[in-house]
Structure 1
Amino acid sequence: MFVTDHLAHCTTRVACTFPGGAEGTGTAFVMNLCVEGSNAIPVLVTNRHVVKGAVTGRFWFTLRKPNANEPDYGKHHNFELDNFSQRWLYHKTLDLAVMPLQPFIQQGQNLGYSYFFSPLTPDLLPSPEELADLPALLDIVLVGYPNGIWDEKNNQPIIRKGITATHPELDYNGRPEFVIDAACFNGSSGSPVFLLELGRTVSRASGMTIGNSRVKLLGILYAGPMHFATGEVRAVEIGQKTIAVTGVPNNLGYVISSRAVKDFEPVLNFLNKNGRLPARNEACPCASTKRYKECCGVTS
Structure 2
Amino acid sequence: MVWDLSVELIHATVQVEQPLGDGTRTVGTGFLINAPAPDGRPRTVLVTAGHVLQRMPNVQAKIGYRVENPDHSWRYSPQKFDIRDSGGNPLWTQHPNRDVAVIEITAPEKFAKAAIPLDWLAGDETFTSYAVGAGDEMMALGFPRGLAANPAGFPILRSGRVASFPLAPSKAFPTFLLDFTVFPGNSGGPVFMAEGARRRPGSSEAQEVQFIAGLLTQQVELNNERLEIGIVTHARYIRETLALMDDPLAPVTVAEAYSEVGGAKAASALEAVSDDP
User: Structure 2 length normalisation: TM-score?
Assistant: 0.74
**Aligned with residue 162 of structure 2, among 161, 164, 168:** 164
Corresponding residue for residue 184 of structure 1: 182
Residue number in structure 2 paired with 1:142: 140
- For structure 2, the 5+ residue unaligned runs are 253-277
RMSD: 3.1
Structure 1 residues 12 and 224: alpha-carbon distance in aligned structure 2, compared to 1, 3 A threshold = same
Q: Is the counterpart of residue 201 in structure 1 residue 201 in structure 2?
A: no
1:258 aligns with 2:235: yes
The aligned residue for residue 218 of structure 2 is 223
Moved more, 76-85 or 134-143: 76-85
SS at match of 1:49: helix
Give the whole-Å Cα distance in 2 for the aligned partners of 1:265 and 1:128.
Answer: 17
Aligned counterpart, 1:75:
75
Superposed displacement of residue 79, structure 1:
1.0
Tell me the alpha carbon deviations over residues 10-29 of structure 1, each in whole angstroms, 9 at most, x when there is no partner: 21011124587763211000
Q: 1:188-210: per-residue Cα shift (whole Å, max 9, x none)?
A: 10010001202x01333336x44
Residue 127 (structure 1) shift: 3.3
Specify the code of the residue in structure 1 equivalent to 2:116.
L
Q: CA deviation at 1:254?
A: 0.7
What SS does the aligned partner of 1:9 have?
A: helix
Q: 6-15 or 148-157, which moves further after superposition? A: 148-157
How far residue 213 of structure 1 moved from its aligned partner, in angstroms, is: 1.6
Displacement of 1:47 in angstroms is: 0.7
Distance 1:34 1:197, change over 3 A: same
Q: Contact (CA 8 Å) 1:88, 1:97: kept in 2 or not?
A: yes
Q: List, as ranges, runs of 4+ consecutive aligned residues in structure 1 with deviation greater than 6 Å.
A: 35-38
Partner of 2:65: 61
Q: Compared with structure 1, are the counterparts of its residues 82 and 171 closer, same or farther at alpha carbon in structure 2 (3 Å cutoff)?
A: closer
Q: Distance in 1 between matches of 2:69 and 2:111?
A: 9
Q: How many angstroms apart in 2 are the aligned matches of 1:2 and 1:217?
A: 12
- The residue type paired with residue 120 of structure 1 is I
State whether residues 38 and 246 of structure 2, in contact with CA within 8 Å, keep that contact through their aligned partners in structure 1: no
The percent identity for this pair of structures is: 21
2: CA distance between counterparts of 1:72 and 1:150? 19
Report the structure, 1 or 2, having the larger helix content.
1
How many residues align? The count is 241
Structure with larger RCO (C-alpha < 8 A, sep 6+): 2
* Counterpart-to-counterpart distance in 1, 2:38 and 2:115: 15
Instruction: Look up the match of 1:27.
Output: 29
Aligned to 1:4: 6
Aligned counterpart in structure 1 of residue 53 of structure 2, from 23, 35, 51? 51
Given residue 140 of structure 2, which amino acid in structure 1 is its aligned partner? L
Provide structure 1 residue ranges, at least 5 long, that are not aligned to the other structure.
229-246, 271-283, 289-300
SS in 1 for 2:43: strand
* Residue of 204, 208, 222 corresponding to 1:213: 208
Question: Residue type matched to 2:64 in 1?
Answer: W
SS of match in other structure, 2:90:
helix
Structure number with larger C-alpha Rg: 1
Give the TM-score normalised by the residue count of structure 1.
0.69
Matching residue's letter, 1:268: M
